[in-house]
Structure 1
Amino acid sequence: MERVETSPSAPVQEDAPDVHTRQARLFASVAIGAIVADQATKALIRAWLAEGETWPAGFELIHLSHVENTGAAFGILQGAGPLLVISSIVGVVVVLALLYTAPAGDRLYTAALALVLGGAVGNLIDRVLRGEVTDFIDPTHYPAFNLADSSIVVGVIALILLSFRPQASPDEGTE
Structure 2
Amino acid sequence: MVYYIIAFIVFLLDQGSKYLISTKLEIGEEIPVIGNFFLITSSRNTGAAFSILEDKRWFFVVITIIVVIAIIWYMQKVLKTSQRKLLPLGLCLVLGGAIGNFLDRALTGEVVDFLQLNFGSYTFPIFNIADSCIVIGVALIILDSLFDMKQESLNNKSHEGNEEV
TM over 0.5: yes
* Stretches of structure 2 lacking an aligned partner (at least 5 in a row): 160-165
Q: Offset at 1:87?
A: 1.2
CA distance in 2, matches of 1:105, 1:36: 27
Amino acid in the other structure paired with 2:140: A
- Tell me the residue number matched to 2:146: 164
Aligned partners of 2:35, 2:141: CA distance in 1, in Å? Answer: 34
More helix by share: 2
The one of 11, 24, 34 equivalent to 2:10 is: 34
Question: Deviation at 1:131?
Answer: 1.2
Q: Report matched runs for 1:1-175 at 5 Å.
A: 25-56=1-32, 59-102=35-78, 103-140=81-118, 141-165=123-147, 166-167=151-152
What's the CA shift for 1:58?
Answer: 10
Given that residues 33 and 40 in structure 2 are in contact (C-alpha distance below 8 angstroms), is that contact kept between their aligned partners in structure 1?
A: no
> CA 1:57–1:151 in structure 2 vs 1: closer, same or farther (change >3 Å)?
closer
One-letter code aligned to 1:64: I
Once superposed, what is the RMSD of the aligned Cα atoms? 2.2
1:142-171, CA deviations, whole angstroms, 9 ceiling, x for partnerless residues?
1000000011100000000100111485x9
Secondary structure at the residue paired with 1:101? helix
CA contact (8 A) 1:67 1:136 kept: yes
Partner of 1:7: none
Structure 1 segments of 4 or more deviating over 3 A? none
TM-score by length of 1: 0.78
Residue 119 of structure 1 contacts residue 148 of structure 1 at CA under 8 Å; is this kept in 2?
A: yes
Gaps of 5+ in 1: 1-24
Aligned-residue offset at 1:57: 9.1
- Pick closer, same or farther for the CA change 1:61–1:95 going to 2, 3 Å: same
TM-score normalized by structure 2? 0.82
**Contact in 2 for aligned 1:54/1:66 (Cα 8 Å):** yes
